[in-house]
């Protein structure tokens, strides 16, 4: 798949880049995408939720009233889940939500997500660039010149660029990552995928390994 390279002003440079069919043209596997996104979201969970069980509640252990003759159900402790302020039955406990996925499946999921973006013509290839300083208006101008100012964007850089990253950080619909941070969730969550010529090469090398 051949794509024209544009600069940050939205003008074609005359250069073209060939997107590998082995990465951007595979038959998408929806189940692989589902598992990879599920793992990504699970890994974001802190798992620190906690409620007290009856053995953790502070309170008297005396019997509330006599066993028989009250006309009500028997009760032995104020810590019972039946009473206000008592322990919670089967409440949440701290846990780790992460789970393992095979590398080949994760790779297939990323290829599938990239292929969906390529199929829908939602990939823009930029020539390698950098900003002279950290200014949010530089990034806003770039996406405006590319006519994608209203869409959620994901910019993939070949390596960390502090000026570009910090310039985008205050923009709600923009996210900047490096090629080694690429994940299925971010690709699918973005309306437009912005790749630089350097990041295309980096991705092809990464998937070739």
Q: Residue 173's pLDDT is what?
A: 92
**pLDDT tier, 198 (very low <50, low <70, confident <90, very high otherwise):** very high
> pLDDT, tens digit, for every residue of 175-197?
999 999 999 999 999 999 999 99
Q: What's phi and psi for 17, nearest 5 deg?
A: -125, 140
Q: What is the mean pLDDT of residues 155-159?
A: 93
DSSP 8-state secondary structure symbol assigned to residue 130: -
For residues 26 and 111, the answer to whether their CB atoms sit within 8 Å is: yes
Please determine, for residue 94, whether its predicted confidence score (pLDDT) is greater than 90.
yes
Q: Residue 65's pLDDT is what?
A: 92
Please determine, for residue 128, whether its predicted confidence score (pLDDT) is greater than 80.
yes
> pLDDT, tens digit, for every residue of 2-21?
888 889 888 888 888 889 99
**pLDDT tier, 164 (very low <50, low <70, confident <90, very high otherwise):** very high
Mean pLDDT of the residues in the chain:
92
CA atoms within 13 A on the CB side of 98: 5
| CATH top-level class of 2-45+98-208 | alpha beta
For residues 158 and 128, the answer to whether their CB atoms sit within 8 Å is: yes
Structure tokens at 13: 């440079």
Provide, rounded to the nearest whole percent, the portion of the chain with pLDDT above 70.
Answer: 100
Contacts of 65 (CB under 8 A, 6+ apart): 75
CA atoms within 13 A on the CB side of 31: 0
Q: Residue 149's pLDDT is what?
A: 82
Q: How far apart are CA 19 and CA 120, in angstroms?
A: 14
Extents of the domains making up the chain: 2-45+98-208, 48-96
Please determine, for residue 135, whether its predicted confidence score (pLDDT) is greater than 90.
yes
- pTM value? 0.83
Q: Residue 3's pLDDT is what?
A: 86
């Amino acid at each position: 798949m051949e794509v024209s390279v544009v600069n940050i002003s939205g003008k074609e440079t005359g250069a073209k880049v060939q997107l590998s069919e082995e990465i951007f043209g595979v038959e998408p596997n929806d189940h692989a995408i589902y598992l990879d996104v599920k793992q990504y979201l699970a890994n974001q969970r802190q798992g620190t939720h906690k409620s007290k069980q009856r053995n953790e509640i502070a309170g008297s252990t005396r019997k509330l009233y006599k066993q028989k003759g009250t006309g009500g159900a028997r009760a032995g402790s104020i810590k019972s889940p039946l009473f206000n302020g008592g322990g919670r039955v089967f409440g949440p406990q701290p846990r780790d939500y992460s789970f393992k996925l095979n590398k080949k499946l994760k790779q297939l999921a990323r290829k599938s997500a990239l292929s969906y973006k390529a199929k829908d013509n939602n990939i823009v290839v930029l020539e390698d660039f950098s900003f002279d300083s950290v200014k949010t208006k530089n990034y806003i101008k770039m996406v405006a010149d590319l006519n994608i100012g209203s869409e959620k964007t994901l910019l993939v850089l070949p390596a960390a660029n502090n000026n570009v990253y910090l310039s985008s950080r205050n923009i709600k619909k923009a996210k900047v990552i490096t090629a080694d941070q690429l994940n299925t969730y971010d690709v699918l969550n973005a309306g437009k995928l912005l790749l630089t010529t350097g990041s295309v090469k980096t991705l092809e090398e990464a998937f070739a390994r």
